[in-house]
Structure 1
Amino acid sequence: MESKVIADSVLVSNYIQGNEKSLEILIVRHKQRIYSFILSKVLDKEVAEDIFQDAFIKVINTLKKGAYNEEGKFLPWVMRIAHNLVIDHFRRMKRIPKFNNTDEFDIFSVISDEVLNVEKQLIKNQVLEDVKHLILELPNDQKEVLIMRMYKDMSFKEISENTNVSINTALGRMRYALINLRKLVDKHQISLIN
């Protein structure tokens, strides 16, 4: 029995130089920790196994390209890869909205009360950033009404008084702002489902 444990950095270096067994040792050494982390996020064994395999495919590709530069930090590097793949998984899942068997869209099927976990919070923050950038592309009169309504929570009566236009004009600008926002979302291919 070998009492000496070979450091991750040595195993990585050996693998890059062609020793396939070194990668196998690394996978066996860290499998439980990485797999448990993934499973704790996705809560599905098959999905966790797929993400685990994808993570090591990325590891292998990066090592074979000679693009690995995390000297001595192999496990945190693989955990970061796994974490990013988990986020990608949630994004893919949320891009396919699940609707009830009805022709009517129910906003409450998309909005939920649940406490956001880290992945969902990251995605939500990205969506909010994307929307802020899109709003800047709107014509000024539409942007002004949208910001007053959505961010300042003003009524259309208050908006009409602040902008010196009729309530109908304020409503029309809001309507066009939303139509143009949808066009911008499509143009930039942004997923707004978090």
Structure 2
Amino acid sequence: MKSHCVKTDNELIHLFMDGDMSALETLILRHKDKLYTSILFLVKDKYLAEDIFQDVLIKIIDTLRVGRYTEEGKFLPWAMRIAHNLCVDHFRKVKRTPAIKTSDERDIFEVINFTEDGADVKMMKRQSHDRVRKMLDLLPEDQREVIILRHYAELSFKEIAALTNCSINTALGRMRYGLINLRKMMSEKNIVL
């Protein structure tokens, strides 16, 4: 497995297609953090993100097994596109599902508290991440999406443009305005990370 660490994504894919399961493990471990974090920031729910992440892995493995992978040299953008599409599919499905409302028109799942905060919520790093997430949630969807794909998935603006069906200049503009809006929120609320 140590010899797999120096191999490129394409080499690992070909090794997996030839039957080497440890090559797939190396490939997944190499990119799992970027994939999972991007999914989490898009769906904003840890458990849902884990489910979608598992679906992404299944789709990747199935595609590789049947030999339909054709994105030579671009594994991560390809995997990110799968993750993005599965998140979009989830939101489409949710829109078609009626929400259960309380008498004061609030979503029942916003009222019910399923989990208790653990000790780790008190940690400084966690608080900073929570602040950033909350501020990201306040951004327009197109700006939030570009920031997540750029900073958490580390995609290029060309890859972001292809993934979001916009021009590179539009992706750059969305990033610029998103960062301006984040800075403005931070100064208005005196937030220091």
Change (3 A) 1:3 1:62: closer
Rounded to whole Å, the distance in 2 between the matches of 1:55 and 1:19 is: 20
Rounded to whole Å, the distance in 2 between the matches of 1:95 and 1:71 is: 36
Q: Hey, what does 1:79 align to over in structure 2?
A: 80
In the TM superposition, residue 3 of structure 1 has moved relative to its aligned partner by: 10
Tell whether the 8 Å contact from 2:39 to 2:84 is kept in structure 1 after alignment. Answer: yes
Q: Hey, what does 1:48 align to over in structure 2?
A: 49
In the TM superposition, residue 40 of structure 1 has moved relative to its aligned partner by: 0.6
Q: Does 1:33 align with 2:57?
A: no
Rounded to whole Å, the distance in 1 between the matches of 2:12 and 2:63 is: 15
**Gaps (5+ residues) in structure 1?**
105-113, 122-194
Q: Does 1:68 align with 2:69?
A: yes
Change (3 A) 1:8 1:93: same
**Which string of whole-angstrom CA distances, capped at 9 and with x for unpartnered residues, describes residues 135-172 of structure 1?**
xxxxxxxxxxxxxxxxxxxxxxxxxxxxxxxxxxxxxx
In the TM superposition, residue 99 of structure 1 has moved relative to its aligned partner by: 4.5
TM norm structure 1: 0.52
**Gaps (5+ residues) in structure 2?**
106-137, 146-193
**SS of the counterpart of 1:97?**
coil
Instruction: Work out the percentage of aligned pairs sharing the same amino acid.
Output: 50
Q: Which of 73, 95, 117 is residue 141 of structure 2 equivalent to?
A: 117
Rounded to whole Å, the distance in 2 between the matches of 1:6 and 1:48 is: 28
Amino acid at match of 1:5: V
Rounded to whole Å, the distance in 2 between the matches of 1:41 and 1:4 is: 29
In the TM superposition, residue 95 of structure 1 has moved relative to its aligned partner by: 1.1
Larger of the two Rg values belongs to structure: 1
TM norm structure 2: 0.52
In the TM superposition, residue 97 of structure 1 has moved relative to its aligned partner by: 2.3
Amino acid at match of 2:36: Y
Tell whether the 8 Å contact from 2:5 to 2:26 is kept in structure 1 after alignment. Answer: no
Rounded to whole Å, the distance in 2 between the matches of 1:68 and 1:2 is: 23
Change (3 A) 1:67 1:3: closer
Aligned-residue RMSD, C-alpha: 2.8
Q: How many pairs are equivalent?
A: 112
Amino acid at match of 1:46: Y
Q: Hey, what does 1:21 align to over in structure 2?
A: 22
Amino acid at match of 1:87: V
Rounded to whole Å, the distance in 2 between the matches of 1:100 and 1:52 is: 29
Rounded to whole Å, the distance in 1 between the matches of 2:16 and 2:4 is: 21
